[in-house]
């Protein structure tokens, strides 16, 4: 899969702008230098070939993206010898945090599942869409039309949302205990069907095998952006269920360790 396809698979519209790609490239480390003004105007060095796998991202487009990032306060230009170099600001870090998924190492579970039902009139389609987006952000999965499921307690965040949107009378949350949540069917079987855990685990395992260990591709100085987006595409598909609900041999933690070793030297 090409890097452009990996970005498209991960982003689903989140990484649609060249500015975000440039911001992430700076995060990974670049050798770009500017001779000129602190507003980004001047002569940039090192932009050619910066995105070898994305030839459409030309030096001219990178320059425009850099000026945009400066105006937004996502980067700043710091002195370095006779040049200026781009550095990510606190706001730029927040921007990256809002885009990229994070592996959750702390997943306390109360042993319950939560079923969310809603009945919103047809004339309020925008509210229905907003609720669906919010439920996805909570890690809920749709079982059928107007019925969603999560293994994490959504009551505190969901109650605030429905109150703000005036949907308090349209949304109902039911608590299901583990032992009878799925009508007698094995919980592991149902979760695999809902979330595609077997396929997800295969992708994690293949990532860990490809980039981990002494023979891993990171030892060959592989494209760090390509590796990152390959991992993010997998992680974004992961519902990050409580560890108690994951199948034996789950490779998610192994893949995360490989990712951290490549990018943070852990």
User: Per-residue confidence of the chain (266 residues) as pLDDT tens digits?
Assistant: 566 666 666 655 545 578 988 998 898 888 899 998 777 788 999 999 888 777 788 999 999 999 999 999 999 999 887 889 999 999 999 998 888 888 999 999 999 999 999 998 888 889 999 999 999 988 899 988 899 999 999 999 999 999 999 998 899 999 987 666 677 788 888 899 999 999 999 999 999 999 987 655 654 444 788 888 889 989 989 999 999 999 999 999 999 999 999 887 75
Q: What pLDDT, on the 0 to 100 scale, is given for residue 42?
A: 84
Residue ranges matching CATH 1.10.10.10 in the chain: 3-99
Q: What pLDDT, on the 0 to 100 scale, is given for residue 52?
A: 78
- Bridge-based pairing of strands 83-88 and 112-118 is unpaired
The Cα angle at residue 221 between residues 217 and 225, in degrees rounded to 5: 90
The Cα angle at residue 134 between residues 72 and 194, in degrees rounded to 5: 125
Residue ranges matching CATH 3.30.70.240 in the chain: 112-181
Q: What pLDDT, on the 0 to 100 scale, is given for residue 187?
A: 84
Q: What pLDDT, on the 0 to 100 scale, is given for residue 221?
A: 45
Residue 155, C-beta contacts closer than 8 angstroms, at least 6 positions apart = 114, 173
The Cα angle at residue 19 between residues 17 and 22, in degrees rounded to 5: 120
Q: What pLDDT, on the 0 to 100 scale, is given for residue 219?
A: 45
In this structure, whether the domain defined by 112-181 belongs to CATH 3.30.70.240 is answered with: yes
* Listed residue (77, 174, 163, 99) closest to 127, CA to CA: 163
- Give the three-state DSSP class for 130: helix
The Cα angle at residue 227 between residues 138 and 261, in degrees rounded to 5: 85
Q: What pLDDT, on the 0 to 100 scale, is given for residue 94?
A: 93
Task: Please say whether the beta carbons of 147 and 116 come within 8 A.
Answer: yes
Hey, what CATH class is 3-99 in? Answer: mainly alpha
Task: Please say whether the beta carbons of 176 and 112 come within 8 A.
Answer: yes
Q: What pLDDT, on the 0 to 100 scale, is given for residue 220?
A: 46
Kindly report the pTM of this predicted structure: 0.80
* Listed residue (69, 67, 46, 47) closest to 58, CA to CA: 47
């Amino acid at each position: 899969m090409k890097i452009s396809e990996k970005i498209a698979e991960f982003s689903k519209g989140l990484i649609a702008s060249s500015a975000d790609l440039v911001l992430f490239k700076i995060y990974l480390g670049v050798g770009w230098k500017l001779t000129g003004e602190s507003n980004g105007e001047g002569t940039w060095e090192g932009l050619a070939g910066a995105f070898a796998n994305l030839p459409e991202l030309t030096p001219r487009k990178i320059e425009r993206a850099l000026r945009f990032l400066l105006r937004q306060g996502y980067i700043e230009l710091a002195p370095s010898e006779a040049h200026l170099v781009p550095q990510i600001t606190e706001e730029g870090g927040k921007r990256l945090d809002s885009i990229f998924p994070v592996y959750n190492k702390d997943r306390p579970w109360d042993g319950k599942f939560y079923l969310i039902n809603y009945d919103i009139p047809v004339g309020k389609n925008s509210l229905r869409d907003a609720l669906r987006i919010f439920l996805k952000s909570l890690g809920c999965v749709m079982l059928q039309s107007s019925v969603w499921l999560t293994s994490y307690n959504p009551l505190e965040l969901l109650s605030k949302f429905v109150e703000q949107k005036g949907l308090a009378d349209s949304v109902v949350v039911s608590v299901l205990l583990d032992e009878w949540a799925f009508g007698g069917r094995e919980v592991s079987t149902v979760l695999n069907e809902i979330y595609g855990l077997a396929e997800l685990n295969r992708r994690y395992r293949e990532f860990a095998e490809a980039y981990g260990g002494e023979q891993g591709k990171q030892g060959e100085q592989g494209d760090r952006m390509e590796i990152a987006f390959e991992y993010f595409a997998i992680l974004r598909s992961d519902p990050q269920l409580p560890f108690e609900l994951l199948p034996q041999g789950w490779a998610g933690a192994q893949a995360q360790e490989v990712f951290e070793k490549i990018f943070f030297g852990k």
